[in-house]
Amino acid sequence: MSSTPEAKEYRLDHNHPLSLGRARGASIICLSGMIWITVSGKLEDIFLTAGQDYRIGDDGFIIVEGIGSGRIRLEWRQTAGSGWLATIGRLMAPSKGEPDRLET
């Protein structure tokens, strides 16, 4: 079975979070700034700085936001027939502090 890495980059600003759903196995890589990650069901939040990453372990709801501003790359390995993340992308523009919804 072959696997191909895929990635998409996002700029994240304070009060304009990105929400992720059904992203098990994807990695969030901080490219710049500081990133704040909240994972449903986890007591503690995760904070990343440039060069650090977090691998998503389940299909729970995740909020990712920049502290100030920052950039991330969402990266995953897609295997043959697993197009579950092929449609990744921003589904709506941020509005008044509501998170962007990213269903994969």
Q: Tell me: pLDDT of 104 over 70.
A: no
Average pLDDT over residues 75-82: 59
Q: Tell me: pLDDT of 29 over 90.
A: yes
Q: Tell me: pLDDT of 69 over 80.
A: yes
Query: Using CA atoms, how far apart are residues 14 and 82, in angstroms rounded to an integer?
Result: 33
Domains of the chain: residue spans and CATH = 3-103 (2.60.120.10)
Residue 100 binned pLDDT confidence (cut-offs 50, 70, 90):
low
In this prediction, residue 88 carries a pLDDT of 43
- Exposure class string for 40-49: b at 16+ Cβ within 10 A, else e: eeeeeeeebe
| pLDDT, the chain, mean | 77
